[in-house]
Amino acid sequence: MGAIGKIIVSLMPIAPKFLVKRIAGRYVAGSNLESAIDLMKKMSKENTCFTIDVLGEEINDLEEARYFVDEYSRVLDSIVSNQINANISLKPTAFGLLIDKNVALSNIEEILKKAASNDIFVRLDMEDHRVTQETIDVVLEMQEKGFQNIGTVLQGRLFRTKDDIAEISKKLGPISDFRICKGIYLESEEISYTKYQEIVDSTNECIDLMLEMGCYTAIASHDVPIIEHSIEKLHNMNMSVDNDSRDNSFGTRVGKGPGYEFQFLLGVRGNLRRKLASAGHLTRVYVPYGTKWYEYGVRRIRENPDIAWHVTKTIIMPWTNRK
């Protein structure tokens, strides 16, 4: 799979942009907020909720961060005025984390404050290993300041993740709120698992630990062994969409189920998501939009050639991945 992905990546520079745009159209809501809102309104009948992401990441100067603060502020207004069941996801490096931590903190706080006043949750996406600790620190600092509407993402492939879960949930108790995924960045074998089965096993162990520690657990995977493992674990813990049997459960969180949800990327395995939703589970679709869809998509694919293979498979074998 990796070899095919690498071949596809090597062909990308000669692929015409219009072709890439057509393919990307499945995974990106459009180039502006209005297209994302239209799409979510249409998808609301699928009994799902959303997390909105403005495309873009690591910036070169702090001026660029202003664009993201302003755009996310518009997103929050739009969620409220259109009454969309959505929260937001942002990348800390787009807010300046790798340039000036204090400026990034104040940018993120501006958005967090506005989100809190509208009961909207803010998720910090997790980027590569350079910012793992810094991203966790932002969450802890904001929680210390009294913001409870923030959480981050942890990556099952990293060796450190189980320690992070234990440490964060010890500090925050049942308000700890995680998205758990495999992790898209192919990290080195010094710090991460690199083989498929190891990554699945580790991610499943992280899900178990989060649920056992009483955390809100957003399971972000399209991989059947992870979803099946999660359902079995939820069943064993007597947890369901309207029942969080854990002693220290935090009650109903704004716009969320009692203790868990399943998250999917826009355009990926919609049939599986709809099946989970009709079985009563809370599902959420990650909806990216923005003008930087080309650069963003190309970078993601270069970083992880397996994604190129998934996309190609979707085109040549569409039944494996219904929209």
- Give yes or no for residue 90 binding ligand FAD (CB under 6 A): no
Q: Based on CB atoms, which residue is closest to ligand FAD, 253 or 310?
A: 310
- Give yes or no for residue 143 binding ligand FAD (CB under 6 A): no
Structure tokens at 28: 């990106």
- Give yes or no for residue 229 binding ligand FAD (CB under 6 A): no
The 10 Å Cβ neighbour count of residue 243 is 14
In whole angstroms, how close is the CB of 104 to ligand FAD at the nearest point?
17
Structure tokens at 259: 């203790």
* One character per residue 117-136, x = contact with ligand FAD (rule: CB under 6 A): --------xx----------
- Give yes or no for residue 256 binding ligand FAD (CB under 6 A): no
# chain residues binding ligand FAD, by CB under 6 A? 27
Of 143, 202, 230, 314, the one binding ligand FAD by CB under 6 A: 314
* Helices and strands (H and E) in the chain: how many: 12, 8
Of 104, 136, 213, 307, the one binding ligand FAD by CB under 6 A: 307
Site for ligand FAD in 161-220 (CB under 6 A): 181-185, 220
Helical segments of the chain, H only: 2-11, 17-24, 33-43, 62-81, 101-117, 132-144, 161-172, 196-212, 224-236, 270-278, 293-303, 305-316
Point out which span in 9-17, 35-43, 273-281, 314-322 binds ligand FAD (CB under 6 A): 314-322
Q: Could you give the CA distance from residue 258 to residue 282 in angstroms, rounded to a whole number?
A: 10
Phi/psi at 35 (nearest 5 deg)?
A: -65, -35
Contact 303, 184 (CB under 8 A): yes
Q: What are the residues binding ligand FAD (CB under 6 A)?
A: 125-126, 153, 155, 181-185, 220-223, 226, 263-265, 268-269, 286, 306-307, 310-311, 314, 320-321
